[in-house]
Amino acid sequence: MRRLQVFGSPVLSRVSNPVEEPFDRDFLASLMRDMERTLALEEGLGLAAPQVGENVRVFLLEATHVPSVGGHRVFVNPSVRPSGPLCRREEGCLSVPGVYEDVMRPSMVTVSASDESGNRFELALDGLAARAVQHEYDHLDGILFIDRLGTLRRRLLRGRLAAIAAASGGRSTF
């Protein structure tokens, strides 16, 4: 099983590659299995492929926590169009354990993606679903929610982040 990557792991700061079509079904099935297990084990809301060490443009949302996604759980090669007024809300991340900070994001988003079978879909989302999509999409571009914080907040977190990176054997570049 692929392991959860935490702050300090270089894979989290890389831009992910698109999944080539036609999809490698064996690879996607294995990736989804590991991501679903990790998400359930960690009791998370969402998880992006880089968080389990794969730099591909795939993320997963736990539909029971985000019912407005209409049963769509797997987002392959997503594109995101944020809209609406900015909204501040607390975020956390499985890859940055124990850190929760307020992040400004647009309140709405339109996401287009494929499911694991290659079927395209588009969703217009707001609230928690919009925030979750933007958070997971950021992972695909090598961005962590802490990268969206102001300079002072980032400075105040430096020690905690260095400890997280050191505990996992990674390097803090924050």
Residues designated catalytic: 136
DSSP conformation letters of 52-69: GT--BSEEEE-TTT-GGG
Query: What's the distance, Cα to Cα, between the start and end of the chain in Å?
Result: 28
Task: Write the single-letter amino acid at 59.
Answer: F
3-state SS assignment for residue 10:
helix
Chain-centroid distance, C-alpha 52: 11
In three-state form (DSSP H/G/I as H, E/B as E, the rest C), the secondary structure along 123-168 is EEEEHHHHHHHHHHHHHHCCCCHHHHCCHHHHHHHHHHHHHHHHHH
